[in-house]
A and B are shown apart, each in its own frame.
Chain A
Amino acid sequence: MPAGFSALDFYYILPELLLTGGAMVVLLLAVLTPRNDNLLLGVSLGTLVASVLSVSLFSGLDVTAARGLLAVDSFAAFFKFIVLLSAGLTMLMSAPYLRVEGLKAGEYYFLILCATLGMMFMASGVDLITLFIGLETMAVSFYILAGFLKPNPRSNEAAVKYFLLGAFSLGVLLYGMSLVYGATGTTSLQGIAVALSGQSPSMVIVLAVVLIGAGMGFKIAAVPFHMWAPDVYEGAPTPVTAFLSVGSKAASFAMLLRIFVEALPAVAADWSALFWVLAVLTMTLGNIAALTQSNLKRMLAYSSIAHAGYLLIGVVVGTERGVASMLVYLGVYLFMQLGAFAIVVAMRRSDVVGDELKDLGGLFRRSPAAAFMMLLFMLSLGGIPPTAGFMGKVWLFGAAVDAGFVWLAVIAVANSAVSLYYYLRVVVFMWMHEDAQPGSPLVFGPAMTVALGIAILGTVVFGIYPQLLFEQAQAAAGTLEGFSATVALR
């Protein structure tokens, strides 16, 4: 075995290895056995569970593996839990959807597993190359998933848009990375931080910061790099949209934090300002654009843009508390967003597309359970106590105030006041509007029930008793290096 490698390295990437193996098995099953969706779903979920367990093997660990290409720390673990959980929920809610749309389950689950794999590398990579590969693994899988409804022109269009703009932003991102490499002579985040510490940041680095910021801003759909999001979210299959808006966002935030907090603390002042502007733009435009949307998926797309804006507050703050609050918010966001999308998926029946706002008309009378769950998710997204969303906001805005970004907090509060309008608009449709053309009744199959159950549980429990989440997040944020420099510079 060559120098620097050891069997331990393979032990450390056990979760990723399991995921890869599972993905390959699913792919082979898809072509070698007669179609059997439940089997495929079972295998995929089993893979995820195994991966989760193996991640929890490394709890409390804080080491770098494979010659400093990967970090195995609580930060990575937290994000791995988030992406794995969101992948699981997505698969659960996909099962009925695939049946209705008549899609090939094998490739679908395979691609979701691949995307998850990429996200996990984004969460744990501490080297530009690793991060880049993880990003692309995720992105390419999503390009295909977005266009998975082959006969549907909207889906095609979504795929093309996501693909072209994604590749474009990848070019921008890579150019920034190459500049960083040129300026520091290394791609390891720690190396970059060391190389940059001390000297006053050169213009090249600033350029690189902007380019990388733009590339990442595209992935997290931050204004003005957000414009792909609404179209892609609307056109892609609904479960994919859900996964895109939660998993991909979370992983991209992980990568963003790794790069900026760990590698570029020397220019913290610069990127902090950059993200301040991005955050304000993103939350404001996201919320205001959502006000007049008539398509539910599109509305949720804009709302997720706005939430990216809130999350950016954590990056701006840049302190350990800021990051911790971000993680909390992501953990909460996972449940409420996926829950809302699960309802939208359930609205899709053999005879109804059900992603228009008016399709919710009088839902309360047709399916009170669905209506109440949607109400809960909407309240949570709007940040009304005692739901989890409120917790996330309190913690996040508190961090902002704490670090002296009072105005940011005020803007954020004003924004969430605005956002309530369109969230409650959904409620109004469900309660106070004429019945939409009913179509076949909503049925919640076992898989969907489990998914919704988990989402509700998370939204309620973390609203009433968020302690657990907070502790985990703080532990995770603690293992992210480079805060000292960040704080020093402020």
Chain B
Amino acid sequence: MLDAYIPVLLFVLVAIGFAIFTLMVSSLVQSSRYNRVKLEPYECGIEPVTDARDRYSVRYYLIAMLFVIFDVETVFMFPWAVIMDELALFGLIEMLVFLFILVLGYVYAWRKGALEWA
């Protein structure tokens, strides 16, 4: 079964080999004279003014948290969806209760102002 992967293996080897080969060749032919302009991050365009790493507003994290929670809860819906007809009304009610609890959490987050910006 593994022999099916042999072409892939060959391809990978060739790719890596090619990369290494080109690098070596270019390092042989390139000229190694530098000047200030060459060393700048951008040779054209606007001069960078501040540090690229900037701190995000805490709101992003809040939203991220809320998303993670409400997103993952869907994981409970897939099994239900699969055998929905089997569970019938009982399953439906169960799922509604489940969603109701989620909505409560949502309401809480909303009232707490977790969803507004600034």
Contacts and interface: CB of A to CB of B under 8 A. Distances in A.
Direct A–B contact in complex, judged by CB atoms less than 8 Å apart: yes
Contacts of A27: 104, 108
B111 A32 contact: yes
Contacts of A31: 107-108, 111-112
B63 interface: no
B9 interface: no
A5 B107 CA distance: 31
Interface in B82-97: 86-87, 90-91
Contacts of A30: 108
B81 interface: no
Contacts of B101: 24
B90 A28 contact: no
A411 to B, nearest CB: 47
A42 B69 CA distance: 30
Given A31-B111, A31-B112, A24 B87 contact: no
B87 A28 contact: no
- The contact size tier of chain B is 10 to 19
Interface of B is mostly: helix
Given A24-B101, A24-B104, A2 B90 contact: yes
A28 B105 CA distance: 9
Interface residues of A, number: 9
Interface in A23-46: 24, 27-28, 30-32
Contacts of A32: 111
B84 to A, nearest CB: 12
A1 B111 contact: no
Contacts of B108: 27-28, 30-31
A24 B90 CA distance: 22
Contacts of B111: 31-32
A2 B93 CA distance: 13
Contacts of B104: 24, 27-28
Contacts of B87: 2
Nearest to A106: B108
A1 B107 contact: no
Contacts of B112: 31
Interface of A: 1-2, 5, 24, 27-28, 30-32
11 contacts: A2-B86, A2-B87, A2-B90, A2-B91, A24-B101, A24-B104, A27-B104, A28-B104, A28-B107, A28-B108, A31-B111
Interface of B: 86-87, 90-91, 101, 104, 107-108, 111-112
